[in-house]
Each structure stands twice: as structure tokens, then as C-alpha cells.
Amino acid sequence: MKNVFIILSIILLFIACKTTKDITSQTVDIVEEKKEIMETAKEVYVSEMLNKVSSIAAPITKRVDHEMTIHGDTRNDPYYWMKLTDEQKNANPYDAHTQEVVDYLNAENKYTDAMTNHLEGFSTNLFEEIKGRIKQSDMSVPYLQNGYYYITRYEEGKEYPIYSRKKGTLDAEEEIMLNVNEMAEGYDFFNVSGRTISEDNKILCYGEDTLSRRIYTLKFKQLQDGKLLEDKIENTTGYCIWANDNKTIFYVRKDDALRPYKIFKHILGTDPATDVEVFHEKDETFNTYISKSKSKKYLIIGSYATVSNEYQILDADNPNGSWKTFTPRERNLEHSISHYGDKWYITTNKDGATNFKLMTCPEEKTEAGNWSDFIAHRPDVLLSYIDIFKDFYVLGERAEGFTRLKVVKWDGSDEYYIDFGEKAITAYTSVNPDFDQKLLRIGYTSMTTPSSTYDFDVNTKEKTLLKQQEVLGEFNAADYQSEMQTALSRDGVKIPISVVYKKGTELNSETPLLLYAYGSYGSSMDPYFSSARLSLLNRGFVYAIAHIRGGQEMGRQWYEDGKMLKKKNTFNDFIDCGEHLVKNNYTSKDKLFAMGGSAGGLLMGAIMNMRPDLWKGVVAAVPFVDVVTTMLDETIPLTTGEFDEWGNPKNKEYYDYIKTYSPYDNVEAKEYPATLVTTGFHDSQVQYWEPAKWVAKLRHHKIGNQPLLLKTNMEAGHGGKSGRFERLKEVAFEYAFLLDLAGIKE
């Protein structure tokens, strides 16, 4: 019995030890598993902005009823009071109303700073990283014009360009025409535009803007001794055109709505107050400008609206002569003109040429009845422009969504397309100021190819690379992959999407993707390289451009199908592109981001209202979001000239249609995605109050805890800060916002 007890005790002890061992083993496994989970959790970063939304109070501004009635419909805009005139914005000191608006914008900036202060180091690092890819001591490819080589160059650490020239040869002594770094000292914003030189090479005319309203003061500089002339002309578009007498210039002034509307003639050494008005564009739907033919024989006054053009011409040797109308303006007749030899060459949509064709007419018989076909209309090819030379001409075309260049010899001996080695590119003729050129200056870029400038021999078809954008650091184009996707829109149209990512990036539901588009004015968003974008790609982002209707990527009809009463195709296309990328496992709704600016900001506002669930985050830069109110206010810049883009809401049909998509008018109680909105206090194109009102209204109505940020640059306008590096700080901040939401903190 005793032995049995001993044996039983041994068995129980063995079982106990084994159980203890198993429990210990399981405990170790559990601890290890928990440790692994904790380590994994450390890697999953959740944006602090999501936590701050509930702990930091957002600015809540007052609401004041402002009812607007038209077509029997009344809209109430409780934030209309935010609108200020230029006089109020520029007053010193501010009146009480202006101060209240400024205080609100500053409060929003303070809130944005508080919501993103955890990103300060990250944003700074991104800025330094992006800046570090730029060759700071750099210069453009020199081009020869009228006996001088002209150069734009930058110096180490400097924000602004230096414009210089060399006479006859690149070995000649450099003549500095403008050092913008010195000129910009003491200004928060500074921009130089429209540098034109008299035909005798002695005097430079240029424009200065120190407010970012794109209102320039013309100044004149003697290039022999560097002295400024006393002539100074205020309120211009920033450029002048010289007559061939080297003393007479023509320039354009803007009206109160910043519409270029009058052209004046100025003679150097005279009081600008006595300048003669040579043309007044009285139709408020048209803008005007002045140019000079490449042949230097003609001065050309152009008037243009969305669907119509008109030109007046004058012998440049006779600036006091009478201007002649090229052909009377006609609605829906669009054309551009180039002079060469004894003919004019006209790129036009005449006679239903939707994708444009090339016509000619005798030099002295310019009316449309004298035009004859030179290159017939092609339904599958958009003719963008012609560049003319002594022995050949070049056609800028667009086919199957992409740009291409066709060289044609005048004598008929040869014609061909320039081969760039890849299809999905942006190709263009560069600076070619003279007819008598044996080498053609061209440029091209793609999603993976930095901007490249070549001299192209039209006879041997050889390209000589003059300069490729240098990307400092460990950049290798072969490390990146670009491809084309095609989304099927809800109405059965195929929408191209350009995609780029770093090789090795896994494409799945966890992949962050930024989708960008514009989609208005027939402006095509062609594939292009961005060194700043590498900061996203290197962190696992995919970047995509949606070539939506409203641009001209697929021809002129692509534009026609994305404006006026078809404008909602633009928004639907973008949403359908986003859906396509999610469906095809490039990303997921929780990792899909959207970005657009100006009219692309309108796109952002629309897609947020239409499909707020599809986007993790949205960046809307200087967004045009209050379409109905703006298009009803003809005192606001750009309004009257855009009736053929959006429609005139004074017409009930357009009013009703615009109201269905105008972002500001369609804000509702929805859970909107995380949103960053940027604007400039002095913006002349999309007035600051549009994004400011939109954010205030979104704050009032939105539900959920997604961050909503407004960042107003109080010293800048539509283009943001001046200076090549200061602008990058804005890019870095936007990237930090997106990366943070994507769970990437470094």
C-alpha cells in the first residue's frame, strides 16, 4: 500500500510538474505574443490631430443673415460679412469690420497651428529634404536672341533669380540685368514679370508686384549703366511690347475687377499721365493683351473670351499708325495667328473643326473669307499650336491623351514625330525666338523623367541633352514605376489615370494614394516629374493624376464635355477614378487622399459633398467654392470672362444647375473627411473669403471628429509665397498633413 502511495505520489508530482511546465510555456507564449502585438502597435501611428479635435476648441465665428433672391429663389449666406474690398484690406489702420475679419482669419491660423504643432519637426524635416534635392547654384539653358545669350540663374541659399546676358558668346562677360534678391529686400512678397528688351538691346522693361494681387508697376532700366529711368507706370499686367523705334512701348491696364481692358501707348521720357489710349475692350466678357509677331513686323492686340478671339494688327515700324482688324470677332470662332513671309497662319476651329485645323491667308487679306485650309481638321488629333522656322515648322499636337511634336519641312522632303522613347510624356517646343534656326530647342518630362531640355537637329534627328533637372541625393529614375490606368465613368467614358510609385511599394488596401486633378478651362494635367513628390513616393505613397473631363487631354470635346451644363462630369469622373483605384486594390477608402487647387479646389469641394466617405483626407488649395454668389457678382475679378466656362447664373437654367454642385451651397450635416484648406489674403483670382466662408459653414454643419483646418497666408495671393524655397514650406506642410493622416510620422 505504501508502495502504491509512493507510485501515486510520483505520478501526481509528474502531472503537476508537466502542468506547471505547460502553463509556464503558455504564459511565455502569451507574453511573447503580447510583446509582439505591442511592438506592432508601436509601428501603427495614429494622427494626434484626431485626438486634438475633441480637446482644442475650433474658432466659431458669428452668423449674420444675408438673403439673396433671384429667379424666385432665396439663399441665405450667414458668412457674407467676411467679404472685404481691396481698400479695406490695404487700409492702415483697419476699421472695425476689417479687423473683425482679420481676427477671424488669424484665429483660424492659430487653431491650425495648435492642431498641427506636433508636425512642426516633421514639416521642417520634409522642407529640408525637399529643398535638399534642389541644386541651389543653378542656371537655365542660355538662349540666343538678337545677338545676346540670356540666362536665369540662382545662387546658393538665395530665394530669387538673377537675370543676366552675355553678348555674342557664352565666354563673354556677364551683364547682370536684374538681381531680384537685392530688389526683394524688405518685402514680404516680391515678384518680377514681363522682362522685355528694346530692339537695340539698350533698355529693359519689367514689372514689379509687391502685394501678390498681380497688379504690376512697369519700370525701365538702361542696360549700359544700370540706371533706372524716371518713367514708372502703375496698375499694369506687368509687361510691355516695344515698337521697332526703341522708344515707344505699349502696355495693358486693369479695371477695378482686375480685368485687362485698356491698352496704352507710352513714349519714353514722357509723363505716363499723358499716355494715349489706343484700345478699350468694352465687352466685359473679353480680356485684352498686346504682343509682337515672331517676325517682329507686326504689333498685335488680342481680345479673347472663352469661345471667341479677335485681333488687331499694326506695322511695328509705324507705332503711330492705324490699327487694322484682322477679322471681326464672331461667337464660337476661336483662332490664334502667326506671321511668316507673306502669309498669316491661323490655328482655328472654323467650320466646325472641333480639334482645330491650320489655315492660311495672304498678309494683306486677313478677313475670314480669305482663309484657306493648310492642315485639315483631324477628329482624333488636337492641334494645339504651330511654331514656324525658315526651313521647317513644328506642330504641337495631342493624341490618345498625350502631347507630341511633329516636324514638317517646308519643301515637303520630310515630316516625322520626334521620338522621346516613352509615350506618357509632356513634350513641348521651348524658347525659339528666331526663324533662322538649324537646331530646335525642345523639352519634355514624364512622371519618372526630370524636366529635360534638348537641342534637336531636324535633319539628323539627333537630340543633344543640354540640361536635365538635377535631383540631388540618392535619386535614380529607375527606382520608380509609372503606368496608366483607365477608369470607366458612370456614363461609359474611359478616363485615363497617370500613376507613379516607388518600385517595391506593395499595392493593396493599406497603400496610401494621393489623387490629383484640375479639370477646368481646357487645361490639361499632363504627366510631369516633381522632385518634391519623391517625399511621398519614398514613404510608400502612390501618386495619381486623374485626366478628367474639363481638361483637353483627350481632345477639345473632352473640355466641352466638362463645362457649362456638363460640369458635373468633371466631379463624377474624379470620383469614378477614385473608385477604380480602390476596386483595383491600389488603395482603400481609408488610405485614399485627394488634392486640387483653384478650380481644382472647386473639384475638391464638390467631391467632398458628393462622396465624403470615399476620402481619408482632402487638401483644397485656394479653392473656388462659392460659385453661385461669385458668378452673380460682376465686380469680382474674373467673373464676366467666365460665363462661357460655368454659365451665367442670371440665366435661370444655369443658376439652377450651378446651385446643384456649388460646394458652399451644398454643405450639409455630414461626416466630411479630414480637410486642409489654404488661401491667400490678397488672392486676386479666388478671393480669400470663399475658402474662409466655406470652412466656417463646414464647421457649423459637419458631424464627426475629422480635423478641418484653414491656413491663410496674410502676405500672399493666389500663387502663395514668393521665393523658390518659401513656396516649398507650404508643400512640406501639406505633405506633413497627408502623411500624418496616413499614419506616417517620419
Q: Annotated active-site positions, please? A: 598, 683, 718
DSSP string, 68-135: EEETTEEEE-TTGGG---HHHHH-SS--HHHHHHHHHHHHHHHHHHHHHGGGHHHHHHHHHHHHHTB-
Determine contact, residues 209/237, Cβ cutoff 8 Å.
Answer: no
The one-letter amino acid code at 117 reads: N
β 617-621/674-680 pair status = parallel
Beta carbons within 8 Å of 457's beta carbon, 6+ residues apart: 438, 439, 440, 463, 464
> Alpha-carbon distance 471 to 449, whole Å?
11
**CA dihedral (468, 471, 473, 476) positive or negative:** negative
**Is the previous residue joined to 362 through a cis bond, with omega within 30 degrees of 0?**
no
Contacts for 477 with CB less than 8 Å, ≥ 6 apart: 448, 449, 450
In this structure, what DSSP letter does residue 720 have?
B
Q: How far apart are CA 94 and CA 740, in angstroms?
A: 37
Which helix (DSSP H) or strand (DSSP E) does residue 345 occupy?
strand 343-348
**Residue 157, all three cell numbers:** 541659399
Name the β-bridge partners of 305.
Answer: 308
- Of 336, 456, 460, 443, the closest CA to residue 386 belongs to 336
The torsion angles phi and psi of 729, rounded to 5 degrees, stand at -65, -35
Angstrom distances, CA of residue 667 to CA of 384, 400, 664, 699, 712: 38, 37, 6, 10, 21
DSSP 8-state code for residue 462 = -
Contact 472, 133 (CB under 8 A): yes
Q: Which residues contact 171 (CB under 8 A, 6 or more apart)?
A: none
HSE-up of 533 (CA within 13 Å, CB side)? 25
Give the DSSP H/E element, type plus range, for residue 535: helix 534-537
Query: What is the signed CA dihedral for 396, 397, 403, 404, rounded to 10 degrees?
Result: -70
Nearest CA among 373, 412, 414, 417 for reference residue 398: 417
